Amino acid sequence: MKKTLLFAALFLGSTSLFAQHEGHNHAQEAKTAVADPKATPPVASADTKKQVETLVVKQEVHDFGKIPQGKPVTTVFEVSNSGKEPLKIANVQASCGCTTPEWDKENPIPAGGNSKITVGYNAVAEGPFTKIVTITYNENLTKVITIKGEVWKTPATSAPENKGLQDLKN
């Protein structure tokens, strides 16, 4: 037992020694960067300039409020292309299987044009919910939209029979 503990201690000690990073003094580099106001800022690459967010969502969060359990609901998110090139929505992915997005998969949104993304929610589970839907466009850009609300439990049985209904017919 003592040998095992000694071996474990030696192993951990040697591992931590080899894990130390030599050759860079990060604290000194940070001080130099702050202390030198003449240092040139990093130049943005062509990829950074090209990755301008062009998908605009009119309303990024939709609150359904209180909805009855077992009754699916839908909402429509209006999106537009603020760029100068056509915008292709590659995918719209919901955070769970109870949320289903639908969009025009075939046609790109022209520059200055609009489109719609319909998001459905199957209100099975009782209680509050917040679901995230991620839109992937122009190959690798993303935008997140959200639906939320509260599902209230519907009664297990129907309403009792109204015996006074016959009195109204007379």
For residue 19, what pLDDT is reported?
A: 43
**161 and 135 in contact (C-beta within 8 Å)?**
no
HSE of 60, CA atoms in CB hemisphere, 13 A = 9
For residue 154, what pLDDT is reported?
A: 78
For residue 34, what pLDDT is reported?
A: 46
Does a structural domain hold residue 92?
yes
For residue 168, what pLDDT is reported?
A: 67
For residue 44, what pLDDT is reported?
A: 42
Does a structural domain hold residue 56?
yes
pLDDT in tens, 141-152: 999 999 999 999
- The more confidently predicted of residues 39 and 80 is 80
- Count of domains for the chain: 1
- The more confidently predicted of residues 6 and 65 is 65
Does a structural domain hold residue 106?
yes
Taking the C-alpha atoms of residue 95 and residue 125, their distance in angstroms, rounded to an integer, is 15
pLDDT in tens, 45-61: 444 344 567 899 999 99
CATH number at residue 82: 2.60.40.10
Q: What is the pTM of this model?
A: 0.62
**What's the mean pLDDT in 58-67?**
96
Does a structural domain hold residue 67?
yes
pLDDT in tens, 107-163: 999 999 999 999 999 998 899 999 999 999 988 899 999 999 999 987 777 767 777
Domain that holds residue 72: 51-152
